[in-house]
Amino acid sequence: MNILVVDDDPEIVEILADLLGSLGYEVSSAANGALALEQIAEHEFDLLLTDINMPVMGGMELIRRVKEMEKSPIIMVLTAYASMQSAIDAIKLGVYDYITKPFEFEIVANAVEKALERQFLQRENVNLKEMMALYRASESISAQFGLDEVIKVLFESAASFTKADFMALYLNDDSPGNHEFTLSRRKLLRPPSNNTRYLLNLLPKHLTSALAHEHFTSFSSKLFQKHDPLLASILADSEEPVEFSSMMAFTLKARNRLVGVFILISFRPEVVFSDKLRRSFYMLVSKAAACIENSYLYNNLQQHYIETVESFAMALEAKDSYTHGHSYQVSLYAALIAQELGFSCNELAMLQKASILHDIGKIGISDAILNAEGKLTESEFAEIRTHPLKGRNIIDPVSSLNQVGEVIFHHHEHWDGNGYPDGLVADDIPLMSRIIGIADAFDAMTSKRPYRSSLSIKEALIELHKGAGHQFDPELVTIFISLRYEVRRLLVGFRESGYKVIKEVPTRFRESAVICK
Ligand SMILES: [Fe+2]
């Protein structure tokens, strides 16, 4: 146990040092409050035994400053009978006990032992609470599936456990050929006193590169002192001095791969990261690394599935020269309406997916029914009507496309409730389903079919107008008709290309619908 004795009387310091030393304690001393603070910044003490009246900085000011610290020692004051009021004031500040001068050895020994016992129990209690909180945070990280959520919990936990003033996370997403670590997220809780740009940008970036290189040896986590050779070599390129109180870094490893680097910095002298904190927090960082890697794997898996399903949709249309390019054209007409409605980029991307995949369920319908010439029987119609449900089931495994599944499921609902599969009415039909319903009908009418030639744009718009309020959302039909010149330009493009999927579409559509990142 480490004790710091603070008194401006060298005789008292010597007597106490001898006494406490003989009882097996490590004793340090300081002649006033200011010198004591310097020692406390350098070493961790279990007990602070301080006089009240001292030059430079007295005991009361010292107590106030120590009490503000993150992990303060337990405090006892030494006081003369004449200054009992000071002892009472000190106790109000949270001091554990006082010893009156002149003191008896036995009383000092007992009081110190009692105080240290109390300190030990308090710290054990704090440790237990911290470990439980860390455990709960790590469980919370494991419960997250998305990358953003995992990172959010990691940052929240780091802010709460480490009291860091600045945190930065650099990640490598393991995409082919990507060896770069890019900034994923950073959080500034309190600004540095100087050299802000260097501390918040260049230092973490350069340190990440250096650690990413070094991890192939043994690096996993580290507390950095300014004189650390690796850090010193990085700091050498800063034109101004770099001021921080404490810094630690963690590498995030999963499946034998370096997923990222997490850097935490404290700018305040009273927040100094300890080795114990680094060790406990590493548990949480390791868990985050595994979850981040899993989210990459999951996203890749989902992306592959989406691409496969999209290629099925294209293949399905390609079997029939009359429907070739239909979904793609529907996606552009739908984007035209959506843009007028002020859809966000994400909503446009979702609408585009739903448009491309709206008839994917037809994969599950027999070719004999799909290509039947002449009138379909009632049972054949019933079979056709299952394609929205089949479509939703096909993309059901992709959780990120759940909403797209709902849009597909309802794309044959009618405004007046006479559609299928649920007979939804008006606004109960998802907006994107209503948009696709119009785009789908318009493209079908303006395309050739084996049994009829295509309608002109005007004829098709008249048909949409007739269906407004019955099959179609009347407001959306009005919007679509108001866009007839843009619709015409798009359709002429399709026709000139022989109804092939057009790579070069007018800028406005390209910006909104095709390249919406
Ligand atoms: Fe359909």
Burial group, residue 195, by CB count within 10 angstroms (0-12, 13-18, 19+): middle
Region 251-259: what's the mean pLDDT?
85
Burial group, residue 97, by CB count within 10 angstroms (0-12, 13-18, 19+): middle
Region 135-151: what's the mean pLDDT?
78
Comparing 164 with 127, which gets the higher pLDDT? 164
What local confidence, expressed as pLDDT, does residue 213 receive? Answer: 78
Give me ligand 1 centre to Cα 466, in Å. 20
DSSP 8-state symbol, 454:
P
* For the ranges 44-58, 398-412, 468-482, the one whose mean pLDDT is highest: 468-482
What local confidence, expressed as pLDDT, does residue 517 receive? Answer: 37
Q: For 319-514, CATH number? A: 1.10.3210.10
Of the listed ranges 306-320, 335-349, 386-400, 458-472, the least confidently predicted one is 306-320
Give me ligand 1 centre to Cα 491, in Å. 20
CA distance readout (Å), 288 to 134, 145, 156, 185? 12, 11, 12, 14
Give me ligand 1 centre to Cα 74, in Å. 74
Cα 13 from Cα 298, distance rounded (Å): 64
Region 153-164: what's the mean pLDDT?
90
Give me ligand 1 centre to Cα 307, in Å. 20
Tell me the pTM: 0.54
Give me ligand 1 centre to Cα 424, in Å. 16
* For the ranges 232-236, 398-402, 489-493, the one whose mean pLDDT is highest: 232-236
CATH 3.90.1150.10 correct for 144-297: no
- Position 3 pLDDT exceeds 60: yes
CA-closest candidate to residue 387, choices 431, 420, 354: 420
Peptide bond into 421 cis (omega under 30): yes
- Position 510 pLDDT exceeds 60: no
Angle, in degrees to the nearest 10, between helices 105-142 and 147-162: 170
CA-closest candidate to residue 157, choices 284, 289, 290, 279: 284
Instruction: With cut-offs at 50, 70 and 90, classify the pLDDT of residue 422.
Output: very high
Give me ligand 1 centre to Cα 482, in Å. 25
Comparing 469 with 514, which gets the higher pLDDT? 469
Q: What percent of the chain has pLDDT over 90?
A: 25
Region 75-91: what's the mean pLDDT?
78
Give me ligand 1 centre to Cα 116, in Å. 77
Cα 55 from Cα 36, distance rounded (Å): 12
Comparing 129 with 160, which gets the higher pLDDT? 160
- The answer to whether 77 and 86 are in contact (CB under 8 A) is yes
Please provide the average confidence, as pLDDT, over all residues in the chain: 83
Protein residues with C-beta less than 5 angstroms from the ion ligand 1: 359
Instruction: With cut-offs at 50, 70 and 90, classify the pLDDT of residue 346.
Output: confident
- List the chain domain ranges: 2-125, 144-297, 319-514
**How would you classify the pairing of strands 246-254 and 257-266?**
antiparallel
What local confidence, expressed as pLDDT, does residue 407 receive? Answer: 95
Q: Which CATH architecture has domain 2-125?
A: 3-Layer(aba) Sandwich (3.40)
- Position 410 pLDDT exceeds 70: yes
- The answer to whether 239 and 247 are in contact (CB under 8 A) is no
Comparing 474 with 446, which gets the higher pLDDT? 474
Give me ligand 1 centre to Cα 387, in Å. 7
Strand partners, 250: 221, 262
What local confidence, expressed as pLDDT, does residue 218 receive? Answer: 60
Using one digit for the tens of pLDDT, what is the confidence trace for 351-396? Answer: 988 998 898 888 888 877 877 777 788 888 898 899 999 989 988 8
* For the ranges 14-18, 224-228, 470-474, 487-491, the one whose mean pLDDT is highest: 470-474
Give me ligand 1 centre to Cα 441, in Å. 9
Radius of gyration of the chain (CA): 36
Instruction: With cut-offs at 50, 70 and 90, classify the pLDDT of residue 321.
Output: low
How is 262-309 classified by DSSP, letter by letter? EEEEE-STT----HHHHHHHHHHHHHHHHHHHHHHHHHHHHHHHHHHH
Give me ligand 1 centre to Cα 254, in Å. 44
Give me ligand 1 centre to Cα 213, in Å. 53
Provide the strand spans (E) within 219-279: 221-224, 246-254, 257-266
Using one digit for the tens of pLDDT, what is the confidence trace for 203-229? Answer: 899 989 888 877 555 668 888 877 788
What local confidence, expressed as pLDDT, does residue 81 receive? Answer: 63
What local confidence, expressed as pLDDT, does residue 121 receive? Answer: 78
